[in-house]
Structure 1
Amino acid sequence: MKHSCSERRMVTIIWSLCLIFCLSRSVLVISSPAQHLCFPDQRDALLEFKNEFYVQESDPNMMPGDKKTEMWRNNTDCCYWDGVGCDSVTLNVVELDLIGCYLNGPLRSNSSLFRLQHLQTLYLAHNNLSGTLPDSIGNLKYLRVLHLVSCNLFGKIPSSLGSLSYLTDLILSDNDFTNERPNSMGNLNRLTDFQLVLLNLSSLTSIYLGSNKFQGMLPSNMSSLSNLVHFDISGNSFSGTIPSSLFMIPSLFGLYLQRNDFSGPLEIGNISSLSNLQQLYIGDNNFSGPIPVSISKLVNLQYLDLSLWNTGMGMVDFSIFLHLKSLSYLDLSGINLKNSSTLSLPSAMKEFILSSCNISEFPMFLENQTTLLSLDISANQIEGQVPEWLWRLPGLRFVNIAQNSFSGELTMLPNSIYYFIASDNQFSGEMPRLICELDHLQILVLSNNNFSGSIPRCSKNFNTIAILHLRNNSLSGVIPEETISANLRSLDVGLNQLSGLPKSLINCTSLEFLNVEDNRINDTFPSWLRSLPDLQILVLRSNEFYGPISSSGGSMSFPKLRIFDISENRFTGVLPSDYFAGWSAMSSVVVEIFDSMFGFRVAGSTRDPYHNVVVLTNKGLDMELVGSGFTIYKTIDVSGNRLEGDIPESIGILKELIVLNMSNNAFTGHIPPSLSNLSNLQSLDLSKNRLSGSIPPELGKLTFLARMNFSYNRLEGPIPQATQIQTQNSSSFAENPGLCGAPLQKRCGGEEEEATKQEQDEDEEKEEEDKVFSWIAAAIGYVPGLFCGLAIGHILTSYKRDWFMRIFSAFLLR
Structure 2
Amino acid sequence: MSHPCLHLRLISVLLLCCILFASHVLMITALACRPDQIRALMQFKNEFESNGCNRSDYLNGVQCDNSTGAVTKLQLPSGCFTGVLKTNSSLFGFKHLRYLNISHNNFTSSSLPSEFNSLKRLEVLSLSSNGFIGQVPSSFSNLIHLTHLNLSHNELTGSFPLVKNLTKLSFLDLSYNQFSGTIPFDLLLTMPFLSHLDLKKNSLTGTFEVPNSSSYSRLVYLSLGQNQFEGKILEPISNFINLKHLDVSSLNTSYPIDLSIFSPLKSLLVLHLSRNRLLPASLNSSDIPLSLESLVMPRCDITEFPNILKTLQNLQHLDISSNMIKGKIPEWLWKLPHLSLVNLVNNSFTGFEGSSDVLLNSSVQLLDFAYNSMTGEFPLPPPNIIYLSAWNNSFTGTIPLQVCDRSSLTVLDLSYNKLTGPIPQCLSNLKIVNLRKNSLEGSIPDEFYSGAFTQTLDVGYNQLTGKLPRSLLNCSFLRFLSVDNNMIEDTFPFWLKDLPNLQVFTLRSNRFFGHLSPPDQGPLSFPELRILELSDNNFTGRLSQTFFVNWKASAIKVDEDGRIYMGDYKHAYYVYEDTMDLQYKGLFMEQGKVLTSYNTIDFSGNKLEGQIPESIGLLKALIALNLSNNAFTGHIPLSLANVTELESLDLSRNQLSGTIPRELGSLSFLAYISVAHNNLMGEIPQGPQFSGQAETSFEGNAGLCGLPLQGSCFAPPTQQPEEDDEEEEEVLNWKAVVIGYGPGLLSGLVIAHVIASYRPKWYLKIVGLDKPKEVKPVRFFASLDSRWDSYDNHVERESDT
- What TM-score do the two structures reach when normalised by structure 1? 0.73
Once the two structures are superposed, the pairs formed by residues 525-540 of structure 1 within 5 Å of their partners are 525-540=492-507
- CA distance change for structure 1 residues 588 and 246 in 2, over 3 Å: closer, same or farther? farther
Residue matched to 1:225: 191
Once the two structures are superposed, the pairs formed by residues 632-671 of structure 1 within 5 Å of their partners are 633-671=598-636
Residue matched to 1:743: 708
Offset of residue 703 of structure 1:
2.6
**Secondary structure of 1:371's match?**
coil
Residue matched to 1:689: 654
Residue matched to 1:278: 244
Offset of residue 611 of structure 1:
4.8
Residue matched to 2:100: 146
Look up the equivalent residue of 1:491 and give its one-letter code.
L
Residue matched to 1:752: 715
- CA distance change for structure 1 residues 218 and 738 in 2, over 3 Å: closer, same or farther? same
Instruction: Note the residue ranges of structure 1 that are not aligned, 5 or more in a row.
Output: 1-29, 38-70, 97-104, 760-814
Whether 2:158 is the aligned partner of 1:192: answer: no
Select which of 334, 338, 341 maps to 1:374: 341
Residue matched to 1:101: none
Distance 1:486 1:503 in 2: 13
Whether 2:142 is the aligned partner of 1:178: answer: no
Offset of residue 449 of structure 1:
1.1
Whether 2:178 is the aligned partner of 1:214: answer: yes
Distance 1:417 1:354 in 2: 19
Select which of 29, 49, 69 maps to 1:86: 29
Whether 2:312 is the aligned partner of 1:349: answer: no
Residue matched to 1:26: none
Distance 1:353 1:649 in 2: 53
- CA distance change for structure 1 residues 457 and 324 in 2, over 3 Å: closer, same or farther? same
- CA distance change for structure 1 residues 395 and 175 in 2, over 3 Å: closer, same or farther? farther
Distance 2:211 2:533 in 1: 53
- CA distance change for structure 1 residues 626 and 577 in 2, over 3 Å: closer, same or farther? same
Residue matched to 2:585: 619
Select which of 335, 360, 363 maps to 1:395: 363
CA-to-aligned-CA distance 1:153-192 (integer Å, 9 cap, x gap)? 5433441544444433232334544353344444433332
Residue matched to 2:414: 446
- CA distance change for structure 1 residues 231 and 710 in 2, over 3 Å: closer, same or farther? same
CA-to-aligned-CA distance 1:352-379 (integer Å, 9 cap, x gap)? 1221222223234425412211222222
- CA distance change for structure 1 residues 325 and 501 in 2, over 3 Å: closer, same or farther? same
**Secondary structure of 1:391's match?**
coil
- CA distance change for structure 1 residues 90 and 398 in 2, over 3 Å: closer, same or farther? closer
- CA distance change for structure 1 residues 397 and 112 in 2, over 3 Å: closer, same or farther? closer
CA-to-aligned-CA distance 1:96-120 (integer Å, 9 cap, x gap)? 9xxxxxxxx9448999899999654
Distance 1:587 1:576 in 2: 21
Offset of residue 684 of structure 1:
1.2
Whether 2:397 is the aligned partner of 1:429: answer: yes
Whether 2:79 is the aligned partner of 1:127: answer: yes
CA-to-aligned-CA distance 1:606-654 (integer Å, 9 cap, x gap)? 7x4x553211112211123534x52453322221122223323232233
CA contact (8 A) 2:504 2:532 kept: yes
- What TM-score do the two structures reach when normalised by structure 2? 0.74
Aligned length: 669
Distance 1:601 1:111 in 2: 24
- CA distance change for structure 1 residues 85 and 294 in 2, over 3 Å: closer, same or farther? farther
**Secondary structure of 2:404's match?**
helix
Higher mean alpha-carbon deviation, 736-745 vs 711-720, is at 736-745
Once the two structures are superposed, the pairs formed by residues 374-773 of structure 1 within 5 Å of their partners are 374-385=341-352, 387-388=354-355, 390-410=358-378, 412-458=380-426, 463-482=428-447, 486-499=452-465, 500-551=467-518, 552=520, 554-585=522-553, 587-588=555-556, 590-595=558-563, 597-598=566-567, 608=575, 611-627=577-593, 630-631=595-596, 633-748=598-713, 751-752=714-715
Residue matched to 1:296: 263
Distance 2:579 2:212 in 1: 43
Look up the equivalent residue of 2:29 and give its one-letter code.
C
Higher mean alpha-carbon deviation, 246-255 vs 519-528, is at 246-255
- CA distance change for structure 1 residues 399 and 33 in 2, over 3 Å: closer, same or farther? closer
CA contact (8 A) 2:424 2:445 kept: yes
Higher mean alpha-carbon deviation, 178-187 vs 372-381, is at 178-187
CA contact (8 A) 2:141 2:163 kept: no
CA-to-aligned-CA distance 1:356-407 (integer Å, 9 cap, x gap)? 2222232344254122112222222222445347414342211112222222
Look up the equivalent residue of 1:614 and give its one-letter code.
M
Whether 2:291 is the aligned partner of 1:326: answer: yes
- CA distance change for structure 1 residues 92 and 357 in 2, over 3 Å: closer, same or farther? same
Distance 1:742 1:89 in 2: 73
CA contact (8 A) 1:336 1:358 kept: yes
- CA distance change for structure 1 residues 387 and 631 in 2, over 3 Å: closer, same or farther? farther
CA contact (8 A) 1:447 1:472 kept: yes
CA contact (8 A) 1:157 1:182 kept: no
CA contact (8 A) 1:192 1:204 kept: yes
Distance 2:407 2:21 in 1: 46
Distance 2:525 2:76 in 1: 31
**Secondary structure of 1:644's match?**
strand
CA-to-aligned-CA distance 1:745-802 (integer Å, 9 cap, x gap)? 3433xx439x769x9xxxxxxxxxxxxxxxxxxxxxxxxxxxxxxxxxxxxxxxxxxx
- CA distance change for structure 1 residues 537 and 259 in 2, over 3 Å: closer, same or farther? farther
Distance 1:166 1:648 in 2: 64
Distance 1:109 1:492 in 2: 35
CA contact (8 A) 1:355 1:379 kept: yes
Distance 1:441 1:385 in 2: 21
Q: Percent identity?
A: 35
Look up the equivalent residue of 1:730 and give its one-letter code.
E
CA contact (8 A) 2:521 2:544 kept: no
Select which of 206, 220, 234 maps to 1:267: 234
Offset of residue 446 of structure 1:
0.8
CA contact (8 A) 2:463 2:486 kept: yes
Residue matched to 1:308: 275
Look up the equivalent residue of 2:268 and give its one-letter code.
L
CA-to-aligned-CA distance 1:175-212 (integer Å, 9 cap, x gap)? 544353344444433332220265232222223345x4
Distance 2:302 2:315 in 1: 18
RMSD: 3.9
Select which of 92, 97, 109 maps to 1:155: 109
Offset of residue 302 of structure 1:
0.6
CA-to-aligned-CA distance 1:471-526 (integer Å, 9 cap, x gap)? 11000111112267811121111110112322222222222222221111111222
Larger radius of gyration: 1
**Secondary structure of 1:636's match?**
strand
Offset of residue 442 of structure 1:
0.8
Distance 2:583 2:592 in 1: 14
CA-to-aligned-CA distance 1:693-744 (integer Å, 9 cap, x gap)? 2111121222322221111112222221223212222221222222222322
- CA distance change for structure 1 residues 464 and 204 in 2, over 3 Å: closer, same or farther? farther
Instruction: Note the residue ranges of structure 2 that are not aligned, 5 or more in a row.
Output: 1-9, 40-47, 65-69, 152-160, 722-801
Distance 1:140 1:668 in 2: 68
**Secondary structure of 1:651's match?**
helix
Select which of 301, 314, 323 maps to 1:336: 301
